[in-house]
Amino acid sequence: MFARRIAARLYSTAITSAKPVEGFVGAIGNTPLVRIPSLSKQTGSEILGKAEWMNPGGSVKDRAALFVVKDAEERGLLKPGGTVVEGTAGNTGIGLAHVCRAKGYKCVIYMPNTQSQEKIDLLRMLGADVRPVPAVPFTDPANYNHQAREYAEKLTNAVWTNQFDNIANRRAHIETTGPEIWSQTSGTIDAFVCATGTGGTLAGTTRYLKEISQNRVRCFLADPPGSVLFALQQTGQLERTGASSITEGIGQGRLTDNLSPDFKLLDGAVHITDEETIAMLYRLLDEEGMFIGASSALNVVAAVKVAEKLGRGKKVVTVVCDGAYRYQSRLFSRKWLDAKGLFEAIPEDLRKYVSL
Ligand code: PMP
C-alpha cells in the first residue's frame, strides 16, 4: 500500500515514461523544466529553464545530433560503417560523437581553435577525430565549416551533417523541445526566449509554440555582443560590429537556413552584455546551486528581461543549454576573468567562487 502510494507519487511527477529507453540515443530529450525560485520571486513571473544539461551528452545539441544523423540515414546518405563529419564549436560534436559511437559510425570534428580544452579532450575520449583549425569568419574558405564539407566530399559513405543549414536540426526542436515545453506548462507558457548558434533551438521551438498556441506565445531572440541578429531583428539591417563575447556556441553573423524561415515569427530581441551574463552565472550558483554554462546564463538574463517587459504573472521559458563543467577553467579562473575585464562584474560577495 505504502509502496503503491510512493509509486503513484513518483509517476505523477515524472515527465518521462517509466519504461526503459533504448541505449544512449533513447535517453536524449524529455528533460525537466526547472522553475528558478529566486528569479521567479524577483520578477513576479515564473522563470523556467529547460534542463538541457541533463541530456546524456550534456547539452541541448544532443537533440540536433540525433536528428541530423537519423535524417542522413533515412535519406540513404549514411550506411553502416560510414563517417559523420561536422564543423562544430563543441557541443554538437560531443552529441555526434556519442550518437556515432552508439550507432557504429566514425566521427570527424573540425572546430575553431578558440574553444575550451575540456570540450576537445572529451571529444577525443569519445573516439572522435578532432581537428582544431584557425578561427576565421564564415566568409573565409578556411572556416571550420568549409573544411568539414570539403573533407566529407572526398570520402565515400560519409556525410557532412551541416548543422547550420541542415533543417533536420530545427526539426529536432519542432518535434521534441517545443512539444515538451508545451506539455510541461500544460499550454500556459506566455513567452519563450533563447540565444542562437545554428538557430535550431530558437527557430524550431518558436515555430512549434507559435503554431500550437495560434500565435499567443511570444518568442524572443537573446543575443550576445558580436552577433548580428539583434540588430537584424530590430532594424532589418545586417551590420557587423567587430565586438566579441565570452559565451561559447552562440552569436551568429548571418541568417542560417535553420533560422531564416522563422526569424520573422519573433516578437522581439534582447541584447545581453558579458557583464550581465557573468553576474547571472555566479548568482545562480550562489542562490540556486545551478552550475551552468555562459550561454545558459545569458538565456536566463534574457528570460528575466522578457518577464520584466511583459509584466507580472507570466510564464517565461528559456533553455539551460549545458553545465559549467566544460568551461570551468575559464569561467572560474581569476586570470581569465581579469583578461576579459569581467572580474569586477561579479558582485563582491560572490567573488569567493572564483577559485582557479
Ligand atoms: N549554447 C551552447 C553551449 C551551444 O553549444 C549551442 C550550439 N552551438 C547553443 C547554445 C545554441 O544552440 P543552437 O545551435 O540550437 O542555436
175 in helix, strand or coil? helix
**pLDDT computed for residue 2 by the predictor:** 41
**pLDDT computed for residue 277 by the predictor:** 98
Cα–ligand 1 centroid distance for 322 (angstroms): 9
**Residue in 270, 241, 354, 295 with CA at minimum distance from that of residue 115:** 295
Q: What is the 3-state secondary structure (H, E, C) of 64-91?
A: HHHHHHHHHHHCCCCCCCCEEEEECCCH
**pLDDT computed for residue 9 by the predictor:** 43
Active-site residue among 61, 210, 305, 315?
Answer: 61
Cα–ligand 1 centroid distance for 270 (angstroms): 17
Radius of gyration in angstroms for the set of CA atoms belonging to the chain, rounded to a whole number? 20
* Ligand 1 atom at minimum distance from 296 CA: 1
**Taking the chain, what is the end-to-end CA distance rounded to the nearest angstrom?**
51
Name the residue of 50, 260, 321, 327 whose CB sits within 8 Å of the most ligand 1 atoms, as the mutation to test its pocket. 321
Task: Answer yes or no: is the ipTM higher than 0.90.
Answer: yes
Q: Has 352 been annotated as catalytic? A: no
**pLDDT computed for residue 241 by the predictor:** 85
- Alpha carbon of residue 180 to chain centroid: 16
Q: Distance (Å, rounded) from C-alpha 191 to C-alpha 25?
A: 29
50 in helix, strand or coil? strand
Q: Distance (Å, rounded) from C-alpha 91 to C-alpha 36?
A: 24
The 10s digit of each residue's pLDDT in 35-76 is: 999 999 999 999 999 999 999 999 999 999 999 999 999 999
* Ligand 1 atom at minimum distance from 293 CA: 3
Sequential DSSP letters for 299-317: HHHHHHHHHHHH-SS-EEE
**pLDDT computed for residue 16 by the predictor:** 53
* Ligand 1 atom at minimum distance from 91 CA: 5
Cα–ligand 1 centroid distance for 247 (angstroms): 10
* Ligand 1 atom at minimum distance from 88 CA: 8
- The protein residue whose alpha carbon is closest to atom 3 in ligand 1 is 249
List ligand 1's pocket residues with C-beta within 6 A. Answer: 59-61, 89, 91, 195-202, 248-250, 293, 295, 321-322
- The protein residue whose alpha carbon is closest to atom 11 in ligand 1 is 197
Using CB atoms within 10 Å of the CB of residue 142, give its burial: 0 to 12 exposed, 13 to 18 middle, 19+ buried: exposed
Name the residue of 169, 250, 252 whose CB sits within 8 Å of the most ligand 1 atoms, as the mutation to test its pocket. 250
- The protein residue whose alpha carbon is closest to atom 8 in ligand 1 is 249
> Between the CA of residue 58 and those of 53, 190, 308, what are the distances in Å?
5, 27, 30
Q: Distance (Å, rounded) from C-alpha 304 to C-alpha 42?
A: 9
**pLDDT computed for residue 17 by the predictor:** 59
Q: Distance (Å, rounded) from C-alpha 232 to C-alpha 166?
A: 22
Cα–ligand 1 centroid distance for 197 (angstroms): 5
> Between the CA of residue 120 and those of 113, 123, 327, what are the distances in Å?
9, 5, 11
| Residues in the chain, total | 356
How many CA atoms are closer than 13 Å to the CA of 289, on its beta-carbon side? 1
Other beta carbons within 10 angstroms of residue 17's beta carbon come to: 9
Q: Distance (Å, rounded) from C-alpha 320 to C-alpha 327?
A: 14
Angle at 288 between CA 303 and CA 203, to 5 degrees: 30
**List of the chain residues with pLDDT < 70:** 1-17, 89
